[in-house]
Every structure is written in structure tokens, then in C-alpha cells.
């Protein structure tokens, strides 16, 4: 007899010290069902998944697989019971082949000696069965991200997974790849396998799942049938209130190109990371840079900052040539940068909030007094910033940055960069890892800066963010600009620009800006 639920949790509770990360979580997944687990960052999704995968042990509660109570002590036990997990960050060895990655760490099926021919043919068989289109001999490092993800899924299936947990699987994919992934998921469903789909993207959740369980503050807010709900209702369950649409008040006009990239080419480790990029960012506009991660965006930003070697071309900021002059000169010329990785590039985690706030401006008055740093000035400034930017710190300005939540860390970076009154603001994935409330705040601040006439370069792989904030969108593929388009571009076109399937240069200057 087929049990009612492939997987069930009853009253799962997990505490970290005084904090309850999971509070009496009840969750059910039927065989052949796709269940979405929806929640903001910090809602307890990852904790719950780590419990289901045997990485964490619950303080209370029970897990049932196929109707039988089980206890996972390690991921190996979880996989033995048919629970597989695909992490957001792949656990693959790039230098190994697909086949090698699939059998890596397996004990049962292989024995001491691995027969390569048998292995290859069985992987080819698997790949064929699920329409995976994977060559067992391909080096994983050479595969695009979408195919690497399939290797991860194949790994779980090869180990006999009946229940597959996918943690934010679409975060790294293009729209087309997402479509492919959904076809794979539907195929698995057809075979009677269950999928737990973790995401905070409402439209994807609506599209792929039959039921949605919403977590908020460690508790289950409810489980609903997808067919009987709407994105708005899910958003409300997720954040506890209605979601305000990002508004973009268009107050100031455009003030002409403030940041001008002229034929910028960056070579790194012998490869051309950016090829002849020419872009103007006008004062008063947000120019979004869309593209799949690793298509030259990082190098472009580093070239502007002056930390990547520029092979040819120029970076002009407000009329000044800052090409290859290094960060100090770029900052002095009026550049502000919110880096993607705030924990290593944006902040010094051991440093206090106050110290992080003066990381750039300590070099000059009023914070510098001869050889010394004027602590009274620093503290006054920090107290002001904490208030203006609503930085929530239990320990005040002297608390280390590491004690802050992600959203508050980002506020420290924003406060530092915006308070210097820069002319150009380069922002990379500014809301990565932030919850909905903090995301709204960051977007509002950026639009305020735009209204003040700042030129803003926004690099992001979140298409919603790019389309919602940008006046124009540049699309990068393999180091080149394949598109310069208006934000009302279709997802279809955007996806094709991101994969280099076509080129489209229609938005050469901001709307109405060209006639100035």
C-alpha cells in the first residue's frame, strides 16, 4: 500500500540558544507532489532543510519517511532513506567528469574498483531517462550552470532519491534554464517522486508547485493549494503585511553622462573578461546591468574601481580620467561602491560599526587630525548614521559589524557610501540575502539617490530588481554588452540577450536625455 505522505514532519523544533529557528513545524509532502516552501530569509527554511537532510538534529519532533518514523544522524542516512538535496551552492568538483562527480562518495553500488564503462553507460541511461542531455565524460567545470545543477540532481537520483529538496534552485539560472529545470521537475513528478522547492520567488512557486507551505519567523503560517491562492496572498502570508510595489518617483531630470566607459577591455589570467565595453551612465538614471553571474560584471566593476587591470579603454568619472588609478583616486573623484560580497569587500567584520563607517573617509578631516583619528568626531558621525539609516545594533556604534544582521550590515555599507555624497554609485546585488523589508529599504534609498541626480550603475542577476529599478538595462554576455534596452523588454528577449543568442541596442541614452 502506498503511504499517504512521502515525507512528513511533526512538531519539529530547533533552538539555537535563546532563539527558536523552527517552532513546531508540521509539513507534509505527498508522493508525486511538488511542495513549495516559501519564506523570507531568516524564516527558518534552511534550518528545516538541514534537519530533513540530516545536517542538524531537531530538539523536538519527528520525521516520517513513507509513514515510518526515522531519525537522521547524517546526510548519508538521509540519502539512504531516499531524501536527496541540491544545495544552492553546488557540491561538485569542477576538475572531475560528470560520471566521477556522480559516484563521488558512494560506497554501495561501486565497490572498491569502479568499472568506468559500466559507470558511463549507466549514467548515460539515467541521463537519457530524465532528458538530462549530459555527457558522462564532460568536465563539470566546463558545463554551464544549468547543466551543473542537473549533475547535482543526477547525483541524488543515482543514489535512489525519492524525495528531492531543491534549495533556491533558480537563483543561478537564466529564464530559459529555469524553464528547462521546471520540465525536469515535472518529469520527476510523473515518476512519482516528490520535490520540495524552496524559493522566495512567488511567480515560480505559483507555476511549479501544487501546494505551498509558508514559513515566517520560524513558524508555519499556513499551507495552501496553489490553485486556490494568489501571489498577493502568499506575499502577505510571508511578510505579514501587504507588499508595497517598488515605486520610482521620477523627480529630477537627467544631467548628462557622469560615468563614461569607453571601449573598456579587461584581461585577467590571459582571458578577456570584458571586451570593449562602452556605456554612459547619466546623472539621474539607474543603468541596470543584467546577465548571468560570471559574464564579466565583476571585472567591469573592478575596472571602474581600479583594481582590475585595464588592457585598453578609459573610465571617465565626471570629466576626470580615473582609468587604472586605483580605488583611492576613484573614490576621491566621486565614486561610491556597494560591493556584492559585503562580508569581505564591503565591510571588515571584526571592525566596529563606527570604524566601518569611516573606512574611506578616515583619511581626511574631520576624522583625521594629524596622525590621529578624532574619536569624538567618529562617534558623533556614527551615532548620526545609525539614526539616519536606522541601523539596528544592540551594542551601538562600537559593536562589531559581525554582530549585525545582513540587512543592517548592508545599511552600514549604504550609509558609508551615500553619506560621502558621491557622484556615481555602483551597486552590486544590493539586496542579496536580505529579507523583504530590508530590500524595500535599500531600493527606496537608491531611488532617492537617483532623484538627487546621482548616476547609479546597478549590477544584479535578479531580473525583477533590474526591471523594477532601472531606467535602462545593459545586458552582458561573455564580457560584451549584447543588449542596451528599455526596462519594458520581454523576459524572452532578456533571456536571449543573456545567453548571447541575439543582440539588441535600442536604448543608447536615457529617454528624453538625448535631446538635451
Partner 1 sequence: MKARPHLDSVLAAARQLIIPSLAVLSAFVAGAVVVAAAGFNPVQTFAALLDGAFGSGINFTETLVKSTPYLFTGLGVAIAFRSRSFNIGAEGQFYMGALAVSWLGVAITGLPSFILIPLLLAAAFVAGGAYGAIPGYLKAKVGASEIVTTVMMNSIAVQIVSWIIKGPLQEPRHFYPETAEIVNAAKLPVLVPGTRLHLGLVIGLAMAVAAYILIFKTVLGFQIRAVGSGALAAEYAGINVRRNVVLAMAISGGLAGMGGAVELLGVTWKLYSNFSPGYGYSAIAVALLAKRNPLAVILTSLLFGALATGANNMQRAAEVPAMLASVMQALVIFFVLGYAVYEDRFARYWAERKPRDRGPHAAAAGKEAAGSNA
Footprint of partner 1 on this chain (CB under 8 A)?
A: 16-21, 41-47, 50, 55-56, 217-218, 305, 307, 326-332, 337, 339, 344-351, 355, 359-360, 362-363, 368, 371-373, 375, 392-395, 398-399, 403-408, 433, 435
CB nearer to partner 1: give 115 or 344: 344
CB nearer to partner 1: give 65 or 401: 401
Residue 317 DSSP SS3: strand
- Please give the DSSP secondary-structure letter assigned to residue 143: S
CB nearer to partner 1: give 50 or 226: 50
Query: Minimal distance in Å, beta carbon 89 to partner 1?
Result: 9
Query: Minimal distance in Å, beta carbon 327 to partner 1?
Result: 4
Query: Minimal distance in Å, beta carbon 509 to partner 1?
Result: 30
Contact residues for 487 (Cβ-Cβ < 8 A; gap 6+): 288, 466, 467, 468, 470, 471, 472, 473
CB nearer to partner 1: give 50 or 470: 50
Q: What is the dihedral of CA 391, 393, 399, 403, to 10 degrees?
A: -100
CB nearer to partner 1: give 386 or 463: 386
CA 128 to chain centre: 31
Query: Minimal distance in Å, beta carbon 391 to partner 1?
Result: 10
CB nearer to partner 1: give 76 or 345: 345
CB nearer to partner 1: give 313 or 346: 346
CB nearer to partner 1: give 257 or 407: 407
What DSSP line would sit under 193-231, residue for residue? -EEEEEES-HHHHHHH-SEEEEEETTEEEEEEEGGG--H
Nearest of 133, 138, 130 to residue 164 by alpha carbon: 130
Query: Minimal distance in Å, beta carbon 348 to partner 1?
Result: 4
Strand 271-282 relative to strand 257-268, pairing: antiparallel
Question: From CA 141, how far away is CA 124, in angstroms rounded?
Answer: 19
Query: Minimal distance in Å, beta carbon 280 to partner 1?
Result: 24
Four-residue CA torsion sign, 147, 152, 158, 163: negative
- Cβ atoms of 207 and 182 within 8 Å: the answer is yes
Residue 498 DSSP SS3: helix
CB nearer to partner 1: give 48 or 81: 48
Strand 7-16 relative to strand 19-29, pairing: antiparallel
Query: Minimal distance in Å, beta carbon 24 to partner 1?
Result: 15
Query: Minimal distance in Å, beta carbon 174 to partner 1?
Result: 24
Cα distances from 434 to residues 11, 44, 286, in angstroms, run 28, 14, 21
Residue 248 DSSP SS3: coil
Amino acid at each position: 500500500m502506498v503511504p499517504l505522505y512521502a515525507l512528513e514532519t511533526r512538531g519539529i523544533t530547533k533552538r539555537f540558544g535563546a532563539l527558536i529557528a523552527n517552532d513546531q513545524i508540521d509539513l507534509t509532502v505527498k508522493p508525486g507532489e511538488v511542495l513549495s516552501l516559501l519564506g523570507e530569509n531568516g524564516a527558518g527554511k534552511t534550518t528545516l532543510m538541514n534537519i530533513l537532510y540530516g545536517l542538524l538534529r531537531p530538539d523536538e519532533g519527528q520525521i516520517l519517511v513513507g509513514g515510518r518514523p526515522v531519525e537522521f544522524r547524517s546526510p548519508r542516512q538521509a540519502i539512504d532513506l531516499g531524501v536527496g538535496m541540491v544545495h544552492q551552492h553546488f557540491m561538485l568538483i569542477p576538475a572531475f567528469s560528470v560520471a566521477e562527480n556522480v559516484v563521488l562518495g558512494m560506497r554501495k553500488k561501486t565497490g572498491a574498483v569502479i568499472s568506468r564503462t559500466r559507470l558511463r553507460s549507466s549514467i548515460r541511461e539515467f541521463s537519457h531517462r530524465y532528458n538530462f542531455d549530459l555527457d558522462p565524460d564532460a568536465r563539470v567545470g566546463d558545463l554551464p550552470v544549468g547543466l551543473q545543477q542537473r549533475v547535482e540532481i543526477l547525483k541524488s537520483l543515482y543514489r535512489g532519491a525519492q524525495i528531492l529538496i531543491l534549495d533556491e534552485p533558480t537563483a543561478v539560472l537564466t529564464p530559459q534554464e529555469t524553464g528547462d529545470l521546471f520540465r525536469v521537475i515535472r518529469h520527476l513528478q510523473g515518476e512519482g517522486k516528490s520535490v520540495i522547492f524552496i524559493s522566495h520567488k512567488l511567480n515560480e512557486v505559483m507555476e511549479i508547485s501544487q501546494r505551498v507551505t509558508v514559513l515566517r519567523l520560524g513558524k508555519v503560517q499556513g499551507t495552501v493549494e496553489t490553485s486556490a491562492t494568489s501571489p498577493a496572498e502568499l506575499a502577505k502570508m510571508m511578510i505579514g503585511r501587504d507588499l508595497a510595489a517598488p515605486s520610482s518617483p521620477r523627480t529630477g531630470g537627467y544631467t548628462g553622462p557622469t560615468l563614461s566607459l569607453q571601449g573598456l577591455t579587461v584581461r585577467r589570467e590571459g582571458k578577456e573578461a570584458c571586451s570593449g565595453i562602452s556605456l554612459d551612465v547619466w546623472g539621474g538614471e539607474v543603468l541596470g546591468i543584467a546577465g548571468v553571474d560570471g559574464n564579466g560584471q565583476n571585472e567591469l566593476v573592478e575596472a571602474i574601481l581600479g583594481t582590475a587591470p585595464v588592457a585598453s579603454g578609459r573610465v571617465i568619472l565626471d570629466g576626470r580620467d580615473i582609468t587604472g588609478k586605483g580605488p583611492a583616486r576613484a573614490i576621491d573623484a566621486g565614486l561610491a561602491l556597494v560591493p556584492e560580497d559585503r562580508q569581505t569587500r564591503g565591510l571588515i567584520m571584526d571592525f566596529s560599526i563606527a570604524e566601518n563607517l569611516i573606512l574611506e573617509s578616515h583619511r581626511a578631516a574631520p576624522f583625521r587630525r594629524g596622525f590621529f583619528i578624532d574619536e569624538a568626531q567618529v562617534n558623533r558621525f556614527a551615532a548620526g548614521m545609525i539614526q539616519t539609516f536606522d541601523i539596528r545594533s544592540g551594542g551601538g556604534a562600537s559593536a562589531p559589524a559581525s554582530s549585525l544582521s545582513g540587512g543592517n550590515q548592508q545599511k552600514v555599507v549604504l550609509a558609508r557610501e551615500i553619506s560621502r555624497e558621491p557622484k556615481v554609485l555602483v551597486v552590486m546585488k544590493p539586496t542579496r540575502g536580505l529579507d523583504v523589508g530590508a530590500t524595500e529599504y535599500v531600493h527606496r534609498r537608491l531611488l532617492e539617490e537617483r532623484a538627487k541626480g546621482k548616476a547609479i550603475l546597478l549590477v544584479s542577476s535578479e531580473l525583477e530588481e533590474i526591471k523594477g529599478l532601472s531606467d535602462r538595462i545593459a545586458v552582458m554576455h561573455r564580457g560584451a554588452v549584447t543588449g542596451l534596452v528599455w526596462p519594458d523588454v520581454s523576459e524572452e528577449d532578456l533571456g536571449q540577450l543573456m545567453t548571447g543568442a541575439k543582440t539588441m541596442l535600442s536604448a543608447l541614452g536615457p529617454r528624453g536625455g538625448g535631446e538635451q
